[in-house]
Amino acid sequence: MAAHETRAAVASGDDFYLGPLSESQLRRADRDTLLRPVWDGARPLHRVERPGPEGQGTDLVAEGFSIDIALTADVAGKEVSWTGRRWLVRSVAYAPARGATADRHLATAEAGPGERATRKQGRKRLSETELTAADAILTREGVTGLLTYTVTATPTTRHKRGYAGRPESDETTMSLAVQVRRNEGAIQEKKRALGWQVYASNDLTRGLAHGVWAYRGQDRMENDRSRLTGRPPGLTPIDLQDEQRIAGLVYLLSVALRILTLTEWVVRERLRQTGEKLHGAYAGQAGRKTATPSAELLLEVMKTIGMRAIEVDGQQYVLLSPLTEVQKKLLTRWGLPADLYENVVRNFPKPPRNTSEP
């Protein structure tokens, strides 16, 4: 979606796009150049906030700024020109997470070169293999330039007496020691760039808050399709030889996926319209609330509904477990009648008469 040609095609059709730019679309050095005024305190930032807990004001979600640039591209042999907007956004939650990941990589890289310092017998100079391996560790952990290491060799000479015709000799053993130093200036320089993302859009009428919430609340097709590899529904490996049956199974699960997605969307939309949150859906956490329940969570709530059919003196009775308050509210939000399950009980199919011979 972020490819320049794709954005040009969207803009040429008078449509709008919003998506993150990868480093192939905007190099890291160019990002740092755009962020330099922020670090120097010369660039004010727009804030994105959301209501906090009751009586505690608002919580900062993200902050950022935008720049507008003129763009051109060739679409179907025609030159298309439009004004694009780049939002540079720092997520308050994402930045610390990236910082913690960077610290783990630094710790791994600091310990790595020391593990390569093994005893070298009879050598006066270090092996190039050891030096290359230490460099590879820094590259693998992505901390090149953030750590520097010094390898020192301490020779130890031991005199060996001659024995059984073997002449006496001196044996030299090299002990390697690796000292790793942190480049704190470079580390802080890299850490302050963590958590920043660049988003491209051609909608110049919308502000930062609209873009942040629109991107976070988007409906991702990948999320729905991933459900086909799990439960529910699960497209698990089964032994099917007929291609028509295989295709039929995929079509059937696609229909089930649509129902599952609709089940989730309807409840979320009802909650959004009323400004409410669903509570009582998490087992063992009665006070926990959510405005975006997943379909799996909703089905787990309804899973506790049970019916039992028993027969007493030739008469069949169907017993229905009482519905909880959250189950009743879900039926209402789905637009289903409150007595749905009672109707199922009343119209429960009767078993066929036993016509077999005694």
**pLDDT in tens for each of the 358 residues of the chain?**
678 889 999 999 999 999 999 988 899 889 999 999 998 989 999 999 988 776 678 889 999 999 999 999 998 889 999 999 999 999 998 888 988 999 999 988 888 765 555 444 544 445 556 667 777 888 888 888 888 877 777 788 888 887 777 888 888 877 767 778 899 998 988 888 888 999 999 999 999 999 898 888 776 766 666 777 655 555 555 666 778 887 888 888 888 888 888 899 999 999 989 888 998 888 888 888 898 898 889 989 998 888 888 888 878 788 888 888 899 999 999 999 888 888 887 777 766 555 555 5
pTM of the prediction? 0.62
22, 26, 31, 20: which is closest to 192 by C-alpha? 31
Co-location of 200 and 182 in the same domain: no
Tell whether 109 and 159 lie within a shared domain: yes
**Do 184 and 51 sit in the same domain of this protein?**
no
User: In the beta sheet, which residues pair with residue 279?
Assistant: 289
Is there a single domain that holds both residue 21 and residue 42?
yes
E strands, 77-232, in order: 78-91, 120-121, 147-160, 169-182, 196-201
The closest alpha carbon to 298, from 335, 272, 261, 250, belongs to 261
- Confirm whether 90 is domain-assigned: yes
Kindly state whether residue 115 falls inside one of the protein's structural domains: yes
Do 91 and 199 sit in the same domain of this protein?
yes
Number of folded domains that form the chain: 3
Question: Do residue 9 and residue 91 come from a single domain?
Answer: yes
- Asked if residue 340 is part of any domain, the answer here is no
φ, ψ dihedrals at 285, nearest 5°: -135, 75
CA angle, residues 170, 171, 174, in degrees to nearest 5: 135
Domain range for 277 is: 221-290
Residues 63 and 75 in one domain: yes
Q: Are residues 116 and 145 in the same domain?
A: yes
Same domain, 163 and 282: no
Question: Does residue 336 belong to any structural domain of this protein?
Answer: no
* Boundary-marking domain end, from 290, 310, 338: 290
CB neighbours of 104 closer than 8 A, spacing ≥ 6? none
Q: Which of 133, 114, 129, 128 is nearest to 176 (CA)?
A: 114
- Are 87 and 31 part of one and the same domain? yes
Pair (225, 256) in one structural domain? yes
Q: Does residue 310 fall inside a structural domain?
A: no
Q: Are residues 92 and 202 in the same domain?
A: yes
Of 348, 346, 300, the C-alpha closest to 324 is 300
DSSP string, 157-181: EEEE--BTTBPPEEEEEEEEEEEEE
β-pairing, 18-20 with 196-201?
antiparallel
- Does some domain include residue 183? yes
